[in-house]
Structure 1
Amino acid sequence: MSVLIHINGYPGAGKLTLGRRLADAIGARLVDNHSVYNLALALTEVKSPAYFETLRAVRAIAFQRVLELPPHIPVVATNAHMTDSDWGNENWDAWADLARRRGARLLVVVLDCDPDELDRRIASPARATKRKLTDPAQFTGARTGRVLIDRGGDATLRLDTTRLSPEETFSRVLAFVAAERGQPSGV
């Protein structure tokens, strides 16, 4: 059964760590938000028309390659999209449409986390080497009540990662994905 697993969470919630582990465990391809955003961040002014044009162009290329994959190969995507963002809603809907065009079940994983813990994680120096946000003041979404998008999936798992280790998060998500694919939890 074809699946597209969309991991949505605040910066610092553990999306990329989880996405990598999950992709390795189930033989999936990973399209993390950094692989789409880095080109736009490097070459355009953030949130300018050129920025969004670049994001759409890179996303279109990624989507075309996903559609060319054999249907039995799962796809894992990561994003940080909130319900009050026009771009977030546009991008979320595009991923949901991609799942439909691929004939895949859309499994949604939402990673939440306490704002103080997010601040601690965001400030980690290791994030800078991955071109990730490292200044907690630049992201206040969790503190201001911005809500993560979780709509449109065939099944949804919401996890608060505040007190979960990466291993615990991975184990819970792997069990969810395996159950939704009708497989034993270790697959």
Structure 2
Amino acid sequence: MQNTIIYLIGHYGVGKLTIGKAIVEATTARLFDNHLANNVIFSLIREDGRTKIPERAWDLIMTIRRQALIAIAEIAPRDASFVLTNALMEDDPLDRQCYDEVVATARRRDGIFVPVLLSASDEAHARRIPSLERGERLKMTDAEGAAIVRRTKRLLVVDHSHRLDIDTTTLPAAEAARRIIDHADAIALSRRT
């Protein structure tokens, strides 16, 4: 995998980070988990995974994200690949902006962009959300709150020819990662021919 940006998108607890790590372990890709940017701010405001996050925090997080995308577009080696993660909702204009900025970064690199929409059953979400590891990473741990978000907020509508949808309910992370890598490799092969 070379000069590819894989964007893992899904609700809280769907396995974005776990699958992202599995992709990185299987390739030379670099991981930019959304919490790398989020936690700079979350750690300072003492985000607890349950309390509503102040709106101003998201503006600050976007500044950090944009700087990371500039680094990917302008400084990172041209053959480097990246895995990004995010929970993006259709009704949030900032989320559409996040997505568009990642697409633009892939274009600036003249790279391959692969959006991957991850889903899982309500039961899988309920098991995963309250985990200790999520709490340690300053992620949402309120299973009831996450269920409300899943019921009331639709994931970002992604209309892209490279889109891949994966249900992670029973799929091991390594297998999901392999499907994504194979998909990206097939796109790269078709681009070369």
TM-score band by shorter chain is 0.7 to 0.9
- Establish whether residue 8 from structure 1 lines up as the match of residue 32 from structure 2: no
Which gives a bigger RCO, structure 1 or 2 (Cα 8 Å, sep 6+)? 2
1:66 aligned residue: 72
Task: Please state how far the C-alpha of 1:150 moved relative to its aligned partner.
Answer: 4.8
CA distance in 2, matches of 1:7, 1:96: 13
1:56 aligned residue: 62
2:124 aligned residue: 117
Per-residue displacement from partner, 1:149-173 (whole Å, max 9, x unpaired)? 2525440110111121223222222
- Establish whether residue 149 from structure 1 lines up as the match of residue 156 from structure 2: yes
SS of structure 2 residue aligned to 1:76: strand
- Which amino acid is the alignment partner of residue 66 of structure 1? I
- For the aligned residue pairs, the C-alpha RMSD in angstroms reads 1.9
TM-score (norm. length: structure 1): 0.87
- Establish whether residue 103 from structure 1 lines up as the match of residue 104 from structure 2: no
- Which amino acid is the alignment partner of residue 38 of structure 2? Y
CA distance in 2, matches of 1:147, 1:97: 23
- Which amino acid is the alignment partner of residue 121 of structure 1? R
1:21 aligned residue: 22
- Which amino acid is the alignment partner of residue 125 of structure 2? L
- Which amino acid is the alignment partner of residue 61 of structure 2? L
Does the 8 Å contact 2:23/2:174 carry over to 1? no
Does the 8 Å contact 1:7/1:19 carry over to 2? yes
CA distance in 1, matches of 2:7, 2:85: 6
TM-score (norm. length: structure 2): 0.85
Does the 8 Å contact 2:10/2:86 carry over to 1? yes
- Which amino acid is the alignment partner of residue 166 of structure 2? L
SS of structure 1 residue aligned to 2:189: coil
1:160 aligned residue: 167
> Runs of 5+ in structure 1 lacking a partner?
none
Task: Please state how far the C-alpha of 1:78 moved relative to its aligned partner.
Answer: 0.5
> Runs of 5+ in structure 2 lacking a partner?
46-51
Task: Please state how far the C-alpha of 1:107 moved relative to its aligned partner.
Answer: 0.6
Per-residue displacement from partner, 1:166-187 (whole Å, max 9, x unpaired)? 232222222212222229xxxx
| Aligned length in residues | 181
Per-residue displacement from partner, 1:65-119 (whole Å, max 9, x unpaired)? 1121111111111111011112211111111111112211211111011122111
Does the 8 Å contact 1:4/1:75 carry over to 2? yes
Does the 8 Å contact 1:106/1:153 carry over to 2? no
Does the 8 Å contact 2:4/2:184 carry over to 1? no
